[in-house]
A = this chain, B = another copy of it.
Amino acid sequence: MALKTPQQYLESIKDNRVVYCNGKRVSDVTKHPILNITNRWIAMDYVMSNDPRYQDLLTNVDADGDRIAFALQPQRTREDLLRLREVVKLWARVCFGKPSGAKFVAKDGLNAVTVVSQRIDKKYGTKYAAHVEAYRKYLQKNDLSFAMGLTDVKGDRALSPSQQVQHKDFYVRIVEERPDGIIVSGAKTHISQVAACNEVLVAPCHAMKEEDKAYAVAFAIPVNAKGITMISAEPEIPEDYDLFDHPIAGSVYINDCLIVFENVFIPNERIFLKGEWEFAGQVAYMFANFHRLSAETYKAMELELFTGAAALMAEYNGIEKKAHVREKLTWLTMYTEMIETLGKAAVEHCVAEEGSDLVYPNPMIANICKYQFADNWHTATKYIQDIAGGIVATAPSAKDFHNPETHALMEKYFAGKAGIPTEDRLRMVKLIRDLTSSYEDVLTIHAEGSLEAQKLSILQLADFDRYKAAALRAAQVKNKKEHPLFDNLPQFPPEV
């Protein structure tokens, strides 16, 4: 059977990859106290898929009789998407709201190149589709973890890739073509968990014009390939962190890296786009379409946890019956359930990509869901911080709680309502601090596309013809366009 065990996964990433963190080269990522948070989080994918309770949900048996990850298969029906939603929910519930990232993001990139490679082949007679399928099989058979290398560092956002001033590597590009492959340079940023993965799948982050054709490139490569350097984000927590103090940050470190490509060789069979610039935007667009399910699904899981923390903290403080607290818990419940409902609706009303056999969530609903989640997040943090109190900012360290000299004082004075152990209250306080960190704020806004990106999508998807037809009829102005829903409706007001 093709599934790796957690131990096999951990062994597989001891491969001399070049990773820097906090100013030092990390010789073995599995030994690094902070990076190992990421590794253990990724390892949960392997823990779960080897667990008989979840195996039927998480894996399929392929034609060879091997168990392979369901997430590495293309989704072809509404039922596939509904199952994928259950997969993501399980991943997220187990991992405190953040789905274990072994395949979570890059599977959507794999689907994107699946769709677009067929189109390029059709136009240019290339063989990209075969490359993608071979790669998909390779991932399945080796149960690999892989990261999505999407966002370029971009330099001046007002300039296109080839217009950049200081140098031309702000977007990953082809610097040389060889018979057996290409040489690429440039850097991608915010690449979640890449230092804990086996592979990275690279694709353009937006549409390109002809002058930017060198930047129209998609490929896959092991992260220990020659020329690749990864620099980890500054960790949020110290190396001697205590899980009590950082229940989330000590369990899930997404570890978004800068990944730099310095003249990295990509063999032909791993290339999925090479200069066909008119398709660059399609890859980015299709990635977003497929990735929406992921984002829309796990966020509701984060919110159930968030709302639960608010409700418990209110009780621990003895304020759960105050009118303003009830008002805030109501709001948080609405926020939680609205995101769950919209996320589910996006899948239930999924759409099929024309000329492909893949389906993805309804883009209008999915964009609304993501926008509502992100736009309301900071208000949610305001409410939970208001309920929890200043202690979120001022609680001493778990080390003080465990220090015999201070334990009794903290036990006595940080107690809340009678019957609630002080430790429970302090743990909840620490959870809330982690949930409302600057990191979470920024992730909420920028992961899966910014608020502005969602607004743009919504405007582009708006069915203005329908809206206008309704308004013109009510204003008794003739509609020059026909509209099936409004043409030939009975006259109103009627002549009776």
Contacts and interface: CB of A to CB of B under 8 A. Distances in A.
Given A399-B22, A405-B20, A430-B475, A371 B334 contact: yes
Interface in A45-78: 47-48, 51, 53
Given A20-B400, A25-B405, A308-B466, 10 more contacts: A155-B318, A166-B412, A247-B475, A304-B470, A330-B455, A330-B459, A378-B381, A389-B446, A427-B475, A436-B438
Given A93-B470, A431-B475, A451-B386, A311 B464 contact: yes
Interface stretch (A130-138, A196-204, A484-492): A484-492
Q: 10 shortest A-B CB distances, which residue pairs? A: A23-B399, A323-B323, A308-B467, A308-B471, A165-B418, A156-B318, A393-B442, A390-B446, A234-B397, A378-B378
B493 A439 contact: no
Given A378-B378, A396-B232, A490 B94 contact: yes
A287 B225 CA distance: 64
Given A345-B344, A413-B258, A475-B309, A24 B403 contact: yes
A406 interface: yes
A172 B271 CA distance: 65
Given A368-B338, A470-B304, A459 B397 contact: no
**Number of identical monomers bound together in the oligomeric complex:** 4
A409 interface: yes
A372 B367 CA distance: 17
Contact of A233 (B243, B349, B393, B441): B393
A306 B471 CA distance: 7
B470 A413 contact: no
A324 B323 contact: yes
Contacts of A94: 489-490, 492
Given A442-B392, A445-B386, A413 B153 contact: yes
A431 B471 contact: yes
Contacts of A333: 458-459, 461-462, 467
28 contacts: A20-B396, A23-B398, A44-B494, A96-B473, A96-B474, A151-B390, A155-B415, A156-B417, A158-B321, A159-B318, A166-B418, A231-B400, A238-B238, A311-B464, A312-B468, A330-B459, A336-B467, A338-B372, A341-B365, A381-B438, A382-B445, A385-B441, A386-B450, A389-B446, A390-B443, A392-B442, A423-B477, A431-B475
Nearest to A243: B476
A377 B378 CA distance: 9
